[in-house]
Amino acid sequence: MNPQFFNVTLEKCDYENVILENMVRLIASGEVFFFRQENFPDCQQVLRKLESGDQLKIGAHRLKDGTYWLHWLHHATKGYLESNKNYVFKFSMLCSFVIGMMVVFSGVWVHYLNISSKNNDFSDVIFMAFVTILMLAGFLFHC
């Protein structure tokens, strides 16, 4: 992530009719910037004050599709937006981590069984079934 700094002229600010809920799209000097409202306290107050033609200073990094992810925004008289650094925790992240750790530990367990026993065909079948069930559960339910 390479942050870039821009001095831009605001063309359009969409914070109500964006595809994803709570997303904001700013179009400024031909560039497109996105951010989530929940990461910026009081962003509604600042966004309502902004008008087309306003000069903004923006810190953002480029996304793969050529748009930018906004880190902060500053206007000389109408205010500024700065991320509160309180990123939203999603329970699915924890579930993915736990499922991944279960797969890793079960792999270590089967490896230990393979080392400690000569007849290990049945343990391999059990392991593959266990891993398959975990992967299907993670894919289907994704918490």
> Looking at residue 37, what DSSP letter applies?
G
**Closest of 4, 49, 3, 1 to residue 29, by C-alpha:** 4
pLDDT at position 93: 72
pLDDT at position 123: 66
Reply yes or no on whether the pLDDT at 94 is more than 90.
Answer: no
Phi, psi for 127 (deg, rounded to 5): -60, -45
Query: 127 with 78, same domain?
Result: no
Q: How confident is the model over 13-49, as pLDDT tens digits?
A: 887 666 677 788 899 999 999 988 888 877 888 888 8
Query: 125 with 76, same domain?
Result: no
Domain termination site, one of 82, 103, 129: 82
Query: 76 with 106, same domain?
Result: no
Helix (H) or strand (E) holding 11: strand 3-14
In terms of residue numbers, what domain contains 20? 4-82
What's the CATH code of the domain at 52? 2.40.50
Q: Is the pTM of this model over 0.75?
A: no
The count of domains in the chain is 2
Q: How confident is the model over 103-131, as pLDDT tens digits?
A: 777 777 766 666 666 665 666 667 777 77
What's CA 64's distance to the chain center, in Å? 13
Domain termination site, one of 60, 82, 104: 82
